[in-house]
Structures are given as C-alpha cells and as structure tokens.
Structure 1
Amino acid sequence: MYLVLLATIISFVIMLIIGPYFIPFLKKLKFGQTIREEGPQSHMVKSGTPTMGGLMIILSITATCLLFLANRWEVTVALLGTLAFGFIGFIDDFIKIILKRNLGLKAYQKVVLQVTFAMILAVYAAYHPNIGTHMAVPFIDSLLDFKWLYIPFTVIFIVGFVNAVNLTDGLDGLASGASMFAAVFFVLSCLYNGYYQLALFAGSVVGACLGFLKFNIYPARVFMGDTGSMALGGALVSLAVLTRMELYFFVVGGLFLIEAISVIIQVFYFKMTGGKRFFRMAPIHHHFELKGWHEKKVVIVFWFVSVCLAVLGYAGLIINI
C-alpha cells in the first residue's frame, strides 16, 4: 500500500515540477486552443490558452512507471495502451494546432487507429492465461465468460470509452478530475483483487491527474487537449481490461457514458426532427452551462456524480448479493 502511495506522490510531484516550465514552452510554441464559435460564449475568453498539456500527463505517468514498474508485463501493457491512444490524440492536436486544420484527423482515420489499438489489446487479453474471456460482474462474486463475443465487445468498450473521456474534456478540470476518481477506484480494486503492480500504475494516473488539476482547474492555465483525454481514456480502459473489470467500468465510468450518450441523443434527435435540439448543447455539461450554471458549479456537480459512481462501483466489488 505504501508503494502505491509513493508512486502517486512521485507522479504528482513530477507534474508540479514540469508544469511551470512546460506551460510557458507551449505558449512560446503558440500551441493555443481555438474555441468554437458555436460553443458557449463564456468560453471565448479561453481562446489562446495553451493546449496539448496532456503531454505532461503522459510524461508524468511514464516517468513514474519507469521508476517503479519496470519489467512487469501488465504495467507495460497498460502503459502502452496509454501511449497508443495518447499518440492518436497527439496527431489530432498536431493537425488542428500546427497544421491549422480545425477538424484534425478525419473521423474514419481516428476510428481506424482506435479500432486497431483496441483490437490488439482485446486479442492480447483474450489469449492471456491470466485474463481470458471472463469479466467480473458487479455485486456478484463470479465471472461471466463472453467466449467468442469477448473480442468484439471489448473493442467496442475500449473505443467507446476512450471517446467518451474525450467528449468529457470540455470544462476546466472536468475530465482530469473525473479520470482521477475513476483511477482511485482502480487503485482500490487492484489492491482488493491482488493486482498490486497495476495498483501502482493506477496510482501514477491519480497523481498525474491531481497534479494536472493545479494548472487545469478553473480558470485553466493549460488544457490537456485530445493528447491528454485520449491518453487518460487509454489508461482507464487498459486497467479495466487487464483486471477484467469492464462491466464495473460501466458504473465507475458512468459520467463518461452519460456525456457520450448525450451526444448520441442530440445527433439522433437533430436528424429525426429536422434540426431541433434535445439539449441546449451537447455534450451535456454545456447544456447546464447554457441553463445558467457557472462552469465551476457544473464541474463540482459532475465531480460529485463521478465520486458517487466510483463508490458504487467499489461497493459492487466488496458487497455480494
């Protein structure tokens, strides 16, 4: 347990050390965020705020892993999952910010890359003797064998939740805070189930998110960009797959799920009604902003929901019906 705490602290300290140097560096390179005109007008003041701060998150997690977690297959796989999806986000940010193409990667390009990395992780897990095609079921002390459905289900799970975390990154501190609470769940669940090395990895994610919040809380001095949101999504889904906790993550990551579903509902309703909107704006955090909630209030309420879902998920682990 103390090693997990130490890994968390070191990741946190690394972030605090590199932040004051990295943020001015991003400003110097003019890696500024472009704010969409159709977004909430209150966000226009954020235009030019440095983005791609997710590189700091990746560096903090990677450095901590190299210090503590070398030569462990499960940690190596989790870190590679983080780096792989972070790489997709980096390319997307690079195209938008450096090449000045606002839409970044084309949708099909992003999906192809995400499905490819998801397939690699799913196949690896399915044929690994310590993982296999079984998943733990919340509130039931048993494993459910998905058999031939495991790989397609896991690919959809990975791609879906990585994009859901990405959609959640729309307010200062929202995605980093929600990801941190989900990572805390994985620290506790890994310790409970005996995945001690992955508990250290999850601790490094907690520390990186907590340290990043110092610079990302309202008013944000830096944004994580797709680089950070996809890297965090990759870290969380990798933890879920490697610990066979995919079904638990539908509870623990429920906030991300709600954000993604709100976008699906908005798009479907818009097309079915010829241009009407179900929400004032999607993802749903913008809906509450446009209803008059201050950004800080939205973030605090959504954090509270995220904490409650993490607690509910842990209850599903230790309480069996």
Structure 2
Amino acid sequence: MVISLVIAFTAALTLTLITTPQIIKVSREKNLFDEPNHRKLNKIVIPNLGGVAIFIGASLSSILCFPKIIPPNIQYVFAGMVLMLFVGLKDDIIGSSPRNKLFMQILAALVLIFMGDLHINNLSNLFFINQIPSWISVPISLLFFLFIINAINLIDGIDGLAAGIGVFFMGTIGFWFYANGNQAYAVISFAFAGALCGFLRFNLFSKKHKIFMGDTGSLILGILIGSLSIAFLNSPPSTPILSDLPHSPSLLLGLLIIPVTDTLRVFYIRVKAGHSPFNPDMNHIHHVLIKSGLSHRVSSLLLVGWSVAMFTVAFVMHRLIPATLSFIFMLALTWLVVNLIRENNNRMGRMRRMRLIVIKNRRKNRLSSFN
C-alpha cells in the first residue's frame, strides 16, 4: 500500500511538471491570462489555467494507483471535480456570473450528498452535538460544501497559498486514511499532494514560466477538500494508532484554519460595513500580510506554518479539553492575530501619511522663505 502512495505522489508530480509548460504555451498563444485589476496583487498578465495541469496529473495517477476494490462514492467525487473543472474553465477563459457558479456548486454538492452518500452524520460532540438526523444532515452538508469550496477560492489570492494549504491538508489527511486502512482515499490525497507540489514549482518558484491555478484549480481543490473532510468526519478509527483520534472536527479545523477563519472574518467585515458578504474587497488575511511589507512567498509560508501550528495545537488539546473549547480557541486566536497585524498596518499607515504631511509642509515653508 505504501508503494501505491509513493507512486501516486511521484506520478502526479511528474505529470504536472510535464503538462504545465504546455498549458502555459497554449495560454500565451491563445491569450488566456489573468488580467490585473485594482483588487489583484499581480501587476502583469499571467496564465491562469494551472488547475488543468493539477487535475490531469492527480486524476491520471489516482486512477493508475487505485486498489482493485474502491468505495463506490469515489466515482461521484470525480464527477463533482469534473463539474467544477468545467465551471472553472469557463470562468477563467470567458468569465461566469456568480449565480451560475453557485448553481453548479450546489449541483456538484448534491451529487456528492445524495449519490455519493457524503453527508455529515456525526459532529463528535462539537457544541454538544453527536448524531445528526438525515433531514438536518443534508442542508448542513450542502452548506459545508459551499463554504469550503468558496473558502478555498477566496484564499487563492497570492502565490502558493491555496496550493500550500492543499499540500498540507492532502498529506496529513492522506496519512490518516492510510493508517485507517482506506487506501482509495489515501491514494487520491497523495496524488493531489504531488500534483500541487508540481504546480508550486511554476507558481512560486518561477518567473519566466509562472502560472496561477485559477478558478479551475481552486474549485476542484475546494470540492475535493470538502469531500475528504466529510469522509474523515464519518470514518470511525479502525486501528489502535487512531483510537485516540476519532474524526474530530477540531482536528479538521486545524487543517483548514486559514480558509475558514478568513472567510468568516471577511464576511463579518463586509456585513458590518453594510455590504453584501460576497462583495469583493482587500481585507483577506493574505492582503493584511502583504500590506505589512511581506512578500508572497513569505506570507504563504507563514500562513501554512500557522496551519501546521494550529493542527498541532488541536492534536494536543484533543486529549486535554473538549472539542468545542479547542474549536473556539483556534478560531478566536487566529482572528485576534490577524486583527492585531491589521491594526499595526493601519497605525503604520497613519504614521507614514503624517510624515508625508510634515515633509510637504517643510518644503512649502522653505519655498516661502526663499520668496
């Protein structure tokens, strides 16, 4: 089984490294670029179809390395990803309305919930809730899918962030599925981890052949993370190693602390300001770090590092305090740290503006004295 995981990771990495330059070439010939605007941090046109290479590399390697017997809902996971592939391609190439994108997200989520039987049925005592009736489980699962898909899409604003969090999530949860004896989910997790690593080679470490994953990549990654998250929550531990680690929502939050906190935070800021929660702005966590003077690479590294730290906290606190307290603590701490950085940015900005005013006044005084 370990060999299958290594092959899946390596094959996906290799295929992505091979296909990405070809996709960049086609994008340049057909003028398929991510155009800069007032909300985007990139200032030059860059190809944005990296999600196609990720999907090709991960899908082919997964199919090649799947065990002979796979869970029946795996086919619906791929069906959901294919739906998101077409939605993302349309949006990246010619644009798509938010309403159409939402409709297709709902459709993909319903396919996974009803046909793939991927719905949340137990919260493991989070907020003192355990078993969930099916009539409540379906709408909760639908909202969960929509939240995760859009949360991953929202954090894809700087180089390496969405892919870096994806690698951490896929590697960690892939190991969990491996230790739990679920080879099919472990294979697909390691395959996407390998494909994302191949994508990072061009997205984060290349200037001449740089590419973005675009909505194609973020939507595929979002629905896969949502699917694996529900499978993680619903999978009872089957080995002694995992007996103290029962599909805890706090552990899942530790893995996804950045996209979850960022989405909740920007929605709160927008509603508080009297705007629609879907109205785009520059208040995301990665924008806060960029405004503090950090580069894309350092900002992404810090945010992925924070995810690792929060998962470690969740792992330790799982044995010491109730899941609800751990859940609230991680959300509150991340929110607080981001707000402190933002307030420091605002303070430094005010100081810079005051300094400019002083300099301008001095120049005026000097000119008036000469006259």
Name the TM-score class by shorter chain.
Answer: 0.7 to 0.9
Give, in whole Å, the separation in 2 of the partners of 1:239 and 1:79.
12
Correspondent of 2:265 among 262, 267, 271: 262
Matched, 1:159 2:156: no
Q: How many residues align?
A: 297
Paired with 1:13 and 1:237, the residues of 2 have a C-alpha distance of 26
Residue 180 to residue 313, structure 1, CA distance change in 2 (3 Å): farther
Structure 1, unmatched stretches of 5+, are 96-103, 273-279
CA distance in 1, matches of 2:302, 2:149: 22
Give secondary structure in 2 for the equivalent of 1:144: strand
**Cα distance in 1, alignment partners of residues 3 and 185 from structure 2:** 14
Give the 5 Å matches for 1:61-210.
Answer: 61-69=58-66, 72=70, 73-95=72-94, 104-125=95-116, 128=117, 134-135=121-122, 137=124, 144-147=130-133, 148-210=135-197
Unaligned runs of 5+ in 2: 235-246, 276-280, 323-371
Distance, in Å, in 2 between the alignment partners of 1:211 and 1:318 is 36
Which letter does structure 1 place at the counterpart of 2:258?
L
CA distance in structure 2 between the aligned counterparts of 1:297 and 1:227, rounded to whole angstroms? 25
Alpha-carbon shift at residue 311 of structure 1 (Å): 3.9
Aligned partners of 1:83 and 1:234 also within 8 Å: no
Secondary structure (helix, strand or coil) at the match of 2:215 reads helix
RMSD of the alignment, in Å? 2.8
Say yes or no: does 1:50 pair with 2:27. Answer: no
Moved more, 242-251 or 145-154: 242-251
Normalized against structure 2, the TM-score is what? 0.72
CA 1:318–1:20: 2 relative to 1, 3 Å: farther
Residue 54 of structure 1 deviates from its aligned partner by 0.6
Distance 1:116 1:246 in 2: 27
Residue pairs, 1:268-287, within 5 angstroms: 268-271=271-274, 281-287=282-288
Letter aligned with residue 193 of structure 1: N
1:215 to 190, 202, 216: 202
Q: Cα–Cα, structure 1 residues 182 and 313, in superposed 2: closer, same or farther, change >3 Å?
A: farther
Cα pair 2:19 2:53 within 8 Å, conserved: yes
Give the equivalent residue in structure 2 for 1:18. 19
Matching of residue 224 in structure 1 with residue 213 in structure 2: yes
Query: Cα 1:109–1:205, aligned 2, differ >3 Å: closer, same or farther?
Result: same
Answer whether contact 2:119 2:230 (CA < 8 A) is retained: no
Question: Distance between the aligned counterparts of 2:179 and 2:320, measured in 1?
Answer: 12
User: Which residue identity lines up with residue 236 of structure 1 in the other structure?
Assistant: I
* Deviation (angstroms), 1:313: 5.5
For 1:3, the equivalent position in structure 2 comes to: 4
Deviation at 1:282, TM superposition (A): 1.9
The secondary structure found in structure 2 opposite 1:271 is coil
2:46 is paired with a residue whose SS is coil
Instruction: Single out whichever of 168-177 and 286-295 deviates more from structure 2.
Output: 286-295
CA distance in 2, matches of 1:318, 1:23: 48
Q: Conserved in 2, the CA contact under 8 Å of 1:57 and 1:212?
A: yes
Match of 1:298 in 2: 299
Q: CA deviation at 1:252?
A: 1.6
Q: 8 Å contact 2:76–2:111 — kept in the other structure?
A: no
| Matched AA of 2:103 | V
Aligned partner of residue 114 in structure 1, secondary structure: helix
Q: How many Å separate the matches in 2 of 1:135 and 1:82?
A: 25
**Offset of 1:295 from its aligned partner?**
2.2
Distance 1:183 1:6 in 2: 15
Which is worse superposed, 81-90 or 191-200? 81-90
Whichever residue aligns with residue 93 of structure 2, its letter is F
2 CA distance for matches of 1:67 and 1:317? Answer: 36
Residues 132 and 90 (structure 1), Cα distance of their counterparts in 2 relative to 1, 3 Å cut: closer
String of CA shifts for 1:238-261, please: whole Å, max 9, x gaps: 112233259343332111112212
Report how far residue 61 of structure 1 moved.
Answer: 1.4
Given the superposition, is the C-alpha separation of residues 213 and 319 from structure 1 closer, same or farther in structure 2, using an over 3 Å criterion? Answer: farther
The residue that corresponds to 1:233 in the other structure is: 222
Q: How does the TM-score come out when normalised to structure 1?
A: 0.83
Structure with bigger RCO (C-alpha 8 Å, 6+ apart): 1
Are the equivalent residues in 2 in contact too, given 1:57–1:208 (CA < 8 A)? Answer: yes
The percent identity for this pair of structures is: 22
Query: Which deviates the most, 228-237 or 239-248?
Result: 239-248
Distance apart, 1:159 and its partner CA? 0.6
Which residue matches 1:277?
A: none
Secondary structure in structure 1 of the residue aligned to 2:130: strand
The residue type paired with residue 65 of structure 1 is S
Superposed displacement of residue 318, structure 1: 8.7
